[in-house]
Amino acid sequence: MKIRSFDVYIVDLPTIRPHQLAMHTIVSQTILLGCATDEDGREGWAEVATIGGASYGESTPEAIKTNIDAYITPLVIGQNPIHFDKIMNDVSKLVRGNYFAKALVEGAIVDLAAKSKNIAAFELFGGQIHKSLPIAWTLASGNTDADIEEAKEMLEKKRHNIFKLKIGKGDPYKNVEHVRKIKQAIGDQARLTVDVNQAWDEDTSNYCIALLQDAGVSMVEQPLPAWDFEGMSRLASKFSVPIMADEAATSIQDVFRIAKYRAGNSIALKPCKHGGLTQTKKVAGIAEASGLGLYGGTMIESSLGTAMCAQLYATLPEMKFGTEIFGPLLFKDNLTVNDIRFENFRVIVPDGPGFGMEIDKEKVKHYARKFQSETEMTI
């Protein structure tokens, strides 16, 4: 069994409402799908998502596709997908960085390998510990009354009892007051966290985190720029509310540095930013050994990418801060035939084979970027 081809598709999937971050507002999410096909015609599929072109990070969707096509695909053709760890180790020797591209390639190969054995992908990463995971929801309308109403609706439906607020855009002090009002309205019914997306400096962080801590916020995510390890260390030592590293926690070396200098006391996991599932498992091991709490992050993936994250997160002993892999709930449509299940404040982990999702090829064609030629759209 050898890999015969690897194809990459860029799709744009519309959301049910605007989703505000510090650097971008999502109304249509760009998603990349990778398909590894073996000599017998079996297919393995994977997904990574990007945010705002180049506004979130260096890995733009166009660069991801180009670099896979030109530099990574030739290295995986003819390889046995069962040896996915060796394949990606060899790729890493010849392709620097490109974490999102590597995550997409590895994911598709893992899906193919698991399907060839008719097992769930999590069996290749130590086996399933959790059948479901706590799931957060981002309140991102920017309107206090609307966010309170939405939170109460989610609680009533038993869909979410962890809420995140994106507060990196606009006036920090008004944003903090926005958070305080929402926390007062929902009280102890739910846990409230905030994500600053690197938008504050240290002075602003010192003032605002004190207010957030007093208000009962349970976690503050990446208040400072990713490069400011020393500032994050000072904040983590000063406040009792956990300070989470996200954009700063990319490579295994980054996470080791965070652990060594306590540049945060918790880590947001995201397979795409770490370079794949195998690297994410290593990051989680470093965090666990260092006493750092784990959070199952998202890049707002659709159902396939969410299944990938859920299956890996399900192999980890403890997700102290839960997960936020809510992406499928934010989209108007789906790229898979089957859906991810959300119930009783949790996401149900798909159980295979592979990542447990069946790609809807007609939907992929419908939402694919128009510049992709007919010869590329061979699905």
Catalytic positions are 166
Distances (CA, A) of 185 to 82, 135, 192, 366: 51, 20, 11, 42
Q: Could you tell me which of 228, 257, 223 has the C-alpha nearest to residue 242?
A: 223
342-343 sheet: strands from edge to edge? 132-134, 346-348, 342-343
**CA pair distance 132, 120, nearest whole angstrom:** 15
Per DSSP, which regions of 112-208 are E strands?
132-134, 136-139, 162-166, 191-195
Identify the CA nearest to 288 among candidates 318, 257, 247: 318
**Interatomic CA distance for residues 155 and 161, integer angstroms:** 6
SS3 content of the chain, % helix, strand, coil (to 5): 40, 20, 35
d(CA 379, CA 371): 16
Q: Residue 260 contacts by C-beta under 8 Å, 6 or more apart in sequence?
A: 290
Q: What angle do CA 276, 47, 137 make, to 5 degrees?
A: 95
